[in-house]
Structure formats: C-alpha cells, structure tokens
Amino acid sequence: MSDSNEHHVPGGGVWRLDLEDGRGELWYGEALDFANGMALTPEGDALYVAESWGHRVIRIPIEADGRPGTPEPVIENIEGVVDGLVVDHAGSLYLAQYTPSRITRVTADGEPEVVIDDPYHHLLCHPTNAAFSGDRLLTANLGAHHLTAIAIGIEGNPLL
C-alpha cells in the first residue's frame, strides 16, 4: 500500500503486507511526492507508483529477491493530479486523473495519449481508480460517487 505522507511534503513510501500474519513493513522508503495509485506490470516484475503532487509516475523494478530496484520515471510533468493506475495486458498504463477529469494512456514506448477528457466533470467527475472488466475500463469517480464504463476495445489485464 502507498503511504502518501502529508500534502505537498515528500515522504511516505510503499509498504508491503504479509497476508498470513497481517504484518507490514516498509518496502520502498525513498521520499515520494504524495504516493497514490499503484499497479503491477503484467509480468509482475515492476510496480508503477503515481506521485500525485510530483505530477509523475515512476516504475520501481522488483528484484529477484523481492527488494525494490532503482526507480525510473515513466512519465513526468503531467498536467493535473494522477490518482489511480491500471495496466492492460499489452503493458499500456492508464492514468485516472482526479483533475482534470481525464483518463490518459501511456503506451509501452512512453507516449501519452488522452483516452477521454471530461472538462465539465460530468461523465468522469474526478476519477480516482480504474480497473478492467473485459474490454471496458471502469472508473470510480469521487466527485459524483458513481462508476463510469468506457469502451476501450481491448482486453484488460488478465491478472485482474
């Protein structure tokens, strides 16, 4: 789970929990600028982490022994606030942007493209999280307390 720390005060980190005994430990302890949404790569070899106030997403490799590797930026200088993340089976990363109300896809080659933009905050209304259901991307929208189903046209992550 992500530890967001205080607003606009880098810190926190990423924690891992032992599902058998419920104990947690800090897995990645470097300061993050409001760690928020996270998603595993389809191969399970890296973790994407959204830094909402840092306006970026990083990729933290997962070493063979389970420890975190050296993080690398995936996308930086994002307009607005990224909240949730989800990855499709092809490795494209989807950003649920709380503001502006938008879904952005970052392809495997690092190119961002807007999938849906809602400048009136009506259809999406501040999406916070996303998940695939078949070929639809579902978003939870904090601003209006509803779910939105977006036809993406590709099958989502079979791990979900």
| Cβ neighbours around 65 below 10 Å, total | 5
Question: What backbone phi and psi angles, to 5 degrees, belong to 129?
Answer: -145, 160
pLDDT tens for the chain, residues 1 to 160: 899 988 889 998 999 998 899 999 999 999 999 999 999 999 999 999 999 999 999 999 999 999 999 999 999 999 999 999 999 988 899 999 999 999 999 988 888 999 999 999 988 999 999 999 988 999 999 998 899 999 886 655 443 3
Rounded to whole angstroms, the Cα distance separating 123 from 66 reads: 40
* pLDDT of 156: 52
CATH label, 2-151, candidates 3.30.457.10, 2.120.10.30, 3.30.300.20, 3.40.50.300: 2.120.10.30
Rounded to whole angstroms, the Cα distance separating 127 from 111 reads: 21
Distance of CA 54 to the CA centre of its chain: 13
User: Tokens 């760690």 correspond to what residue?
Assistant: 35
Report domain extents, the chain.
2-151
Cα–Cα nearest to 118, from 74, 84, 148, 83: 148
